[in-house]
Amino acid sequence: MTTTSSDLAQLLPAGRVIGDPARLASFAHDEAAGASYALPTAVVQPRDTADVAAVVAYCAERGVPVVARGAGTGLSGGANATDGCVVVSFAAMNRIVHIDPDERLAVVQPGVVNDDLRAACAAKGLWYPPDPASAPWSTIGGNVATNAGGLCCVKYGVTRDYVLGLEAVTGRGEVVRLGRRTAKSSAGFELAGLLVGSEGTLGLVTEVTLRLRGERAQEHTVVGYFDDLPSAGRAVAQVVACGVVPSALELVDRYCLQAVDAWKNMGLTDSGNVLLLARCDAPGAAGAEEAGTVLACFEAAGATWAARSGDPTESEALFAARRLVYPALDRLGMVLSEDICVPRSLVPDMLARLERTARRHGVRIAGLAHAGDGNLHPMLVVPRGDERELAKGREVFEEVVDQAIALGGTVTGEHGVGLLKRRGLAKEFGPAVMDLHRGIKDVWDPAGILNPGKIFTA
Amino acid sequence: MTTTSSDLAQLLPAGRVIGDPARLASFAHDEAAGASYALPTAVVQPRDTADVAAVVAYCAERGVPVVARGAGTGLSGGANATDGCVVVSFAAMNRIVHIDPDERLAVVQPGVVNDDLRAACAAKGLWYPPDPASAPWSTIGGNVATNAGGLCCVKYGVTRDYVLGLEAVTGRGEVVRLGRRTAKSSAGFELAGLLVGSEGTLGLVTEVTLRLRGERAQEHTVVGYFDDLPSAGRAVAQVVACGVVPSALELVDRYCLQAVDAWKNMGLTDSGNVLLLARCDAPGAAGAEEAGTVLACFEAAGATWAARSGDPTESEALFAARRLVYPALDRLGMVLSEDICVPRSLVPDMLARLERTARRHGVRIAGLAHAGDGNLHPMLVVPRGDERELAKGREVFEEVVDQAIALGGTVTGEHGVGLLKRRGLAKEFGPAVMDLHRGIKDVWDPAGILNPGKIFTA
């Protein structure tokens, strides 16, 4: 046991501090491929806000780095441990404090798993929309830290759009309540929204007040297969232009379909090369009308096969296949996952650039995209342990990031900056805006202990 | 001409600086009743971002306060001039730079009038939802500064929900671009959202990129008259609980109706004491269904008369009457306008407290509310020039603000803090959160020149 871990064991109840190096390893990093990490000096598992405040105050006094961690499903290294740090794992703070149907809000601890919250809301006829692919495992705290998106955010917005208020512990160890419980407010600076997406660099979120929606109408699914990426890209651009806002519009290319088929034998590749999946959930007859419009867009763009799916089971199976892409690729090697977002009418352009880039570098880039909001997740699979291929893959993706910036896009649509996007972020924003970031961090965390080196270098 | 105004005249093209005291007076304050102000030392009317940056840099070097101003329709003193300040009037920066139907966004200069933008969007089949009552006069820059709301924000959100990106001049005179043009992003801190609602204390907004929606479906109007506030309040609570999210849900009490009748002779008070106006805009048949549900809620809560209005002209007339309330009261004296927001199921409770408070102080409080989102605008009319009555009115409203805080509400739903809500804000947030505000201001505005003394004291 290090001094830090035995000190922390004095501060917290029994069993809340892990100092055993063998156990520490499983808290050392998230799922980002090729992001650096170190072994933490201790892991703490707080029960409540007071535990968190005590740990942060201890660390602030001694200059010990503090890294917050949800389920560790992040893809940018945001939760990676740094040398000598204390990892605060929120897994045990997983209570749904309160769901209020009249106010349409939920109050939750940060360790609540996204799907668990969604199930609890559904039981009361309510809906928490943000649905990252990691929803079965990832926590609300992690979703807040990265401003997580998902499939339905093309119509319903991202995590930040649902955060009304937060309780957080600042880098001084102070507990603050930010935001509100009311439907709207113009009271002072929007500090709750500032903490969303700040990846644990400004404060540790200890409670979240979330806006909910009522149950949505039944979804209509439209499926289209296309010969190639340009025609699928055209279909996306036509849907965007036709005025319908689908509740999901996903693109899956042949490489991804093959990986899923190889694992689950779903026969996806028999039907075509590029799959587009759309959902429409306007209430009543309007939903079916929207689905008809989307179908017409798919056909006009040259779909080889397209249809509305009246069968919820079949439709769910196709969306499940889309969710299997990442684990299916993960079976083949280490997955480098990109997360660029471009203006949505430029999706065809960005897809073409990806194809050219892959060809130039002699690599194969798997294409998966929340196409309706311009958020592309190109993926590269490299042999595990092959440092040269990993480095090459990262280089290819740095190029891709620059292409996204050149198209007026952003370096991360929903995964966050963490360690992997720091160069891109600095390029996207420029030095004056990065200085504002550093200044704001100093205000919240004057000792510089909260997730140092994430988002930007100190 | 002061030194400042003749210096500024050197920096800017001819005709862009006003130094004549007689003309300065019309730029000295907004429409807040009883908020202090002084005569500015100069008013500048920049044409572009470079003009703004030059003025701010000049003022930063000399410690001259800078107060940004849109149309001056604010109700909290946020645009009031302070002693020796330069007012930057954005009226001449009123260009709609670009409306992009595919990306569903608009790029505008801050001086664009809200209704002008809405009309330009409508011409392209698009919709910019935020609709403050001041929309015919107020500017997008002012709407951004106060995070303005309006009638439809109960369903469609407030200004911040539509701001994708901003260009701004910081207190150092630096031009920065914040936010994005893409549908989503998790890139760094949400600095665009931070500037929205910051009332010119962090930066001067010189360009705004706004998210747009497609044209909405036809609205169905439901009208209900009630004998008293408690029964109208119950109707609101029932609508909130029934699961329908109306696109407007407005409450107008007898005092307001009388004021409009006295001016426009609309016969509103013949029908009842408290008017509720609802609109529903779900697409297709769902819209009419929603209206039916709202009607049933009104009737169940004891409406003396309630009906769906099939006639758009009649419906528009009733909403127009609601918009006339403020000017109608303004004819009777100086209007003190409150802007508290409470959890929406507590609207009946807050209305009851307002009635008791009025009775206790022997005053009459006019009741106007965006009832569906819990945002109440109680108003007090005091004789113009009667300082004692004004002071008494302010005292009554300080009590009302405390009541809203006690109910878990906020001191401002959509008007901003300005000068009038500073005490309430400090009480709502507490010292630690106010210190975060001060720290963040120091980062953006180290010389402390941007709208000093607004939102909080230095």
pLDDT one-digit tens code per residue, B339-348: 999 999 999 9
DSSP one-letter code for A183: S
- Mean pLDDT across the stretch A264-274? 92
Closest partner residue to A182 (CB to CB) among B240, B409, B439 is: B409
| Cβ neighbours for B397, distance < 8 A, ≥ 6 positions apart | B336, B338, B378, B380
Q: Do B344 and A429 touch (CB under 8 A)?
A: no
Closest partner residue to B414 (CB to CB) among A175, A184, A374 is: A184
Q: Do A341 and B103 touch (CB under 8 A)?
A: no
Strands B86-89 and B96-100: unpaired
Cα–Cα distance for residue pair B80/B101, rounded to 1 Å: 37
Cα–Cα distance for residue pair B255/B258, rounded to 1 Å: 5
pLDDT above 90 covers a percentage of chain B that reads 91
In CATH terms, B217-322 corresponds, of 3.30.70.2190, 3.20.20.60, 3.50.50.60, 3.30.2350.10, to: 3.30.70.2190
Q: Do A185 and B410 touch (CB under 8 A)?
A: yes
Q: Is residue B3 scored above 90 in pLDDT?
A: no
Region of B307 please: left (phi>0), alpha (psi -120 to 50) or beta.
Answer: beta
| Closest among B179, B365, B106 to B256, alpha carbons compared | B365
Which residue in chain B is spatially nearest to A174 when comparing CA positions? Answer: B432
**pLDDT at position B315:** 84
- Mean pLDDT across the stretch B74-96? 97
CATH 3.30.465.10 fits B96-214, yes or no: yes
Closest partner residue to B188 (CB to CB) among A284, A345, A437 is: A437
Q: Do B158 and A184 touch (CB under 8 A)?
A: yes
pLDDT digits (tens, 9 = 90+) for B170-228: 999 999 999 999 999 999 999 999 999 999 999 999 999 999 999 988 899 999 999 99
Check if A345 contacts B (Cβ < 8 Å): yes
Which residue in chain A is spatially nearest to B167 when comparing CA positions? Answer: A433
pLDDT digits (tens, 9 = 90+) for B140-174: 999 999 999 999 999 999 999 999 999 999 999 99
3-state secondary structure string, B169-202? EECCCCEEEEECCCCCCCCCCCHHHHHCCCCCCC
Cα–Cα distance for residue pair A408/A207, rounded to 1 Å: 35
pLDDT digits (tens, 9 = 90+) for A14-53: 999 999 999 999 999 999 999 999 999 999 999 999 999 9
* Domain B3-89: CATH class, spelled out: alpha beta
Q: Do A198 and B189 touch (CB under 8 A)?
A: yes
- Mean pLDDT across the stretch A187-216? 97
Task: State which amino acid sits at residue A15.
Answer: G
As a whole number of angstroms, the longest Cα–Cα distance in chain A is: 68
Closest partner residue to B429 (CB to CB) among A102, A188, A440 is: A188
Strands A96-100 and B175-179: unpaired
**ipTM given for this complex:** 0.97
**pLDDT at position A243:** 87
Q: Is residue B312 scored above 90 in pLDDT?
A: no
Strands A305-309 and A105-108: unpaired
Q: What is the mean pLDDT of chain B?
A: 95
Q: Do A243 and B154 touch (CB under 8 A)?
A: no
Closest partner residue to A102 (CB to CB) among B240, B285, B412 is: B240
DSSP one-letter code for B219: P
Domain ranges of chain B: 3-89, 96-214, 217-322
As a whole number of angstroms, the longest Cα–Cα distance in chain B is: 68
pLDDT digits (tens, 9 = 90+) for B13-70: 999 999 999 999 999 999 999 999 999 999 999 999 999 999 999 999 999 999 999 9
Which residue in chain A is spatially nearest to B159 when comparing CA positions? Answer: A186
Cα–Cα distance for residue pair B174/A67, rounded to 1 Å: 33
* Contacting residues of B for A217, CB less than 8 Å apart: 286
Task: State which amino acid sits at residue A98.
Answer: H
A17 by Cβ neighbours in 10 Å (0-12 / 13-18 / 19+) ranks as buried
Q: Is residue A7 scored above 70 in pLDDT?
A: yes
pLDDT digits (tens, 9 = 90+) for B238-281: 998 888 999 999 999 999 999 999 999 999 999 899 999 999 99
- Mean pLDDT across the stretch A392-398? 96
Check if A388 contacts B (Cβ < 8 Å): no
Q: Tell me the residues of chain B between 188 and 217 that have a Cβ less than 8 Å away from chain A.
A: 188-191, 193-194, 196-198, 202, 214-215, 217
Which of B105, B181, B186, B414 to probe the A interface (max A CBs under 10 A)? B186
Q: What is the mean pLDDT of chain A?
A: 95
DSSP per position, B70-113: SSS--SSSTT---TTPEEEE-TT---EEEEETTTTEEEE-TT-B
Q: Is the separation of the CB atoms in A228 and A200 below 8 Å?
A: no
**pLDDT at position A314:** 83
Q: Tell me the residues of chain B between 126 and 165 that have a Cβ less than 8 Å away from chain A.
A: 146-149, 153-154, 158, 160-161
* A96-122 burial code (b ≥16 CB/10 A, e <16): beebbbebbbbbbbbbbbbebbbebbe
Closest partner residue to A186 (CB to CB) among B101, B343, B412 is: B412
Q: A266 or B410, which is more confident?
A: B410
| Cβ neighbours for A256, distance < 8 A, ≥ 6 positions apart | A325, A328, A329, A366, A367, A368, A379
* Contacting residues of B for A147, CB less than 8 Å apart: 186, 190
Cα–Cα distance for residue pair A324/A322, rounded to 1 Å: 5
Q: Is residue B1 scored above 70 in pLDDT?
A: no
| Cβ neighbours for A218, distance < 8 A, ≥ 6 positions apart | A281, A287
Q: Do A189 and B442 touch (CB under 8 A)?
A: no
Q: Do A344 and B240 touch (CB under 8 A)?
A: no
Check if A457 contacts B (Cβ < 8 Å): no
Q: Do A345 and B102 touch (CB under 8 A)?
A: yes
Q: Is residue A1 scored above 70 in pLDDT?
A: no
Q: Is residue A312 scored above 90 in pLDDT?
A: no
pLDDT digits (tens, 9 = 90+) for B322-370: 989 999 999 999 999 999 999 999 999 999 999 999 999 999 999 999 9
Give the angle subtended at the CA of A224 by the CAs of A222 and A228, to the nearest 5°.
Answer: 155
Q: Is the separation of the CB atoms in A283 and A228 below 8 Å?
A: no
Q: Tell me the residues of chain A between 253 and 282 that have a Cβ less than 8 Å away from chain B.
A: 282
Cα–Cα distance for residue pair B280/A413, rounded to 1 Å: 33
- Mean pLDDT across the stretch B379-398? 95
Q: What are the tokens at B55? A: 């003025």
DSSP per position, B400-440: HHHHHHHTT-BS-SSS--TTTTHHHHHHHH-HHHHHHHHHH
Structurally, at CATH architecture level, domain A217-327 sits in: 2-Layer Sandwich (3.30)
Locate tokens 């600086």: which residue? B17
Q: Do A198 and B178 touch (CB under 8 A)?
A: no
What is the pLDDT confidence band of residue B429, given thresholds at 50, 70 and 90? very high
Q: How many CB pairs under 8 A join A and B?
A: 258
| Cβ neighbours for A86, distance < 8 A, ≥ 6 positions apart | A4, A8, A40, A41, A42, A43, A44, A55, A59, A64, A65, A66, A67
| Cβ neighbours for B171, distance < 8 A, ≥ 6 positions apart | B56, B60, B202, B203, B444, B445, B446, B447, B448, B449, B450
Instruction: Find the helix packing angle between B347-361 and B387-406, rounded to 10°.
Output: 150
Neighbouring-strand partners of residue B88? B44, B68
Q: Count CB atoms within 10 A of the CB of residue A61.
A: 12
Cα–Cα distance for residue pair B328/B330, rounded to 1 Å: 5
Q: What are the tokens at A111? A: 């360790």
Task: State which amino acid sits at residue B339.
Answer: D
Cα–Cα distance for residue pair B111/B92, rounded to 1 Å: 6
| Closest among A203, A161, A211 to A181, alpha carbons compared | A211
Closest partner residue to B185 (CB to CB) among A237, A412, A433 is: A412
Which residue in chain B is spatially nearest to A427 when comparing CA positions? Answer: B187
* Contacting residues of B for A407, CB less than 8 Å apart: none
| Cβ neighbours for B125, distance < 8 A, ≥ 6 positions apart | A243, B101, B214, B215
Cα–Cα distance for residue pair B458/B444, rounded to 1 Å: 14
Instruction: Find the helix packing angle between A422-429 and A431-444, rounded to 10°.
Output: 120
Cα–Cα distance for residue pair B133/A433, rounded to 1 Å: 34
B268 by Cβ neighbours in 10 Å (0-12 / 13-18 / 19+) ranks as buried
Q: Do B181 and A408 touch (CB under 8 A)?
A: yes
pLDDT digits (tens, 9 = 90+) for A110-133: 999 999 999 999 999 999 999 999
Q: Tell me the residues of chain A between 350 and 369 that have a Cβ less than 8 Å away from chain B.
A: none
- Mean pLDDT across the stretch A161-190? 98
What is the pLDDT confidence band of residue A366, given thresholds at 50, 70 and 90? very high
Q: Is residue B85 scored above 80 in pLDDT?
A: yes
Q: What are the tokens at A174? A: 């102070």
Q: Do B193 and A153 touch (CB under 8 A)?
A: no
Nearest-neighbour CA in chain B from A56: distance (Å): 16
| Cβ neighbours for A223, distance < 8 A, ≥ 6 positions apart | A275, A276, A277, A278, A306, A307, A308, A309, A315, A318
* Contacting residues of A for B428, CB less than 8 Å apart: 187
Q: Do B182 and A455 touch (CB under 8 A)?
A: no
Strands A17-18 and B86-89: unpaired
Q: Do A432 and B146 touch (CB under 8 A)?
A: no
